[in-house]
Structure 1
């Protein structure tokens, strides 16, 4: 079974696999290009009901979990909420960046998880390297207009204050400046309207 290929077939990326007790957790995020268009053309995006992307994720990942013989888990399950950050950092395939956000060699600072699948076996993934270790300039460190991000904290109040002003329009419409500054992020293929969708969920009008 080629788990990575089967995930990509439904526009998801098998980003990492981490141990969880006697089982394994396969962490899934958007696969670009294609994820955003697949979501936009979905019944969840068209029905005007709340939380369309979460519902798309539960439908698609739930079906994938059945196909793989596992059980689906989602970041919104809770409280208590599943430890997605612990799983990611424990996988050896996702790392903490200099600004505290998670980073992946394919997604850069756009790294996000739509869900996970708990399995009795570990899907095979190629060995990956932390991209921050070879990033000499680390432009993410100086990209935030209000210095809201650091390795140890995230000043959400400062971020929201910026997004409420004209000076925050770039981040609101294009996505977080620090995430965009990552050299890996620039090659990932995430579209601006997808970033705007998520920023509006984080900072409603």
Structure 2
């Protein structure tokens, strides 16, 4: 089925997982086929600010222990079935799809000094949870090519805010970060989220609520091996 961008956006919003952007793939993008037909359009879904978290939190209240990945897979797979699209996720694999590269094709996001993508409006408070691949060539809105806010940020407070100096240009000392999180002084990061991420002045009105920041920090810690030493 051929669907217009406004209706697609509205459906994703109602499902609780906002539409982030899209592009028409070329061979170099590595987008798989949509069923038996070549991919003609890929759109990304995810979060920007706390809107997705509110919907997921309500679902988790009704089903305690519900995992974010499981919720995402259920919601987006249902959308894909309704729309005649194929659903892809960054948390399944192999193969692991290049969501960061696709994001840079879909909207104006750029690598930040912390290594995660920064958005000119949402800052570091956004993410990508899924993609829908269509065999049809959907009409996409004009791309906003706003520049990276990091290019005009002279102070770079994100690099100096970390209490253990885990970040430097082009480098992230994961072991130092994990040791700090596991120690008593790491409570501020465990409960309030990464201090370097919070120090970025861009998108402060879209900062995740504390509950969401704690959730993501716990998930990061579970996924990261214990630090040696």
Q: Which band: TM-score by shorter chain? A: 0.7 to 0.9
Q: Does residue 6 of the first structure (1) align with residue 21 of the second (2)?
A: no
1:147 corresponds in structure 2 to 165
Q: CA deviation at 1:102?
A: 0.8
Aligned to 2:22: 17
Instruction: Give 1:110 shift.
Output: 2.3
1:182 to 180, 194, 200: 200
Q: Deviations over 1:8-50 (max 9, x none)?
A: 223323223244335332121124443222111115872436x
* Deviation for aligned residue 1:86: 1.7
3-state DSSP class of the match of 1:65?
A: helix
Flag structure 1 segments of 5+ consecutive residues without an equivalent: none
* CA–CA distance in structure 1, aligned partners of residues 142 and 130 of structure 2: 17
Confirm whether residue 28 of structure 1 aligns to residue 42 of structure 2: no
TM-score by length of 1: 0.86
Q: Match for 2:149 among 131, 149, 152? A: 131
Q: How far, CA to CA, are the matches of 1:35 and 1:65 in structure 2?
A: 18
8 Å contact from structure 1 (residues 45, 53) kept in 2:
no
The answer for the alignment partner of 1:111 in structure 2 is 126
Q: 1:25 to 1:155 in 2, by over 3 A?
A: farther
Q: Helix, strand or coil: the match of 1:72? A: strand
Q: What is the CA–CA distance in structure 2 between the aligned matches of 1:125 and 1:58, rounded to whole Å?
A: 29
Structure 2: any 5+ residue segments left out of the alignment? Answer: 27-38
TM-score for the superposition, normalised by structure 2: 0.77
Question: How far did residue 4 of structure 1 move?
Answer: 2.9
Moved over 6 A (4+): none
Q: Which has the larger radius of gyration?
A: 2
Cα displacement (A) at 1:5: 3.2
Are residues 16 and 139 of structure 1, via their aligned partners in 2, closer, same or farther at CA, if it must alter by over 3 Å?
farther
C-alpha RMSD of matched pairs (Å): 2.4
Aligned with residue 215 of structure 2, among 189, 197, 204: 197
> 1: CA distance between counterparts of 2:166 and 2:24?
32
The equivalent residue for 1:63 is: 78
Q: Which moved more, 1:94-103 or 1:1-10?
A: 1-10
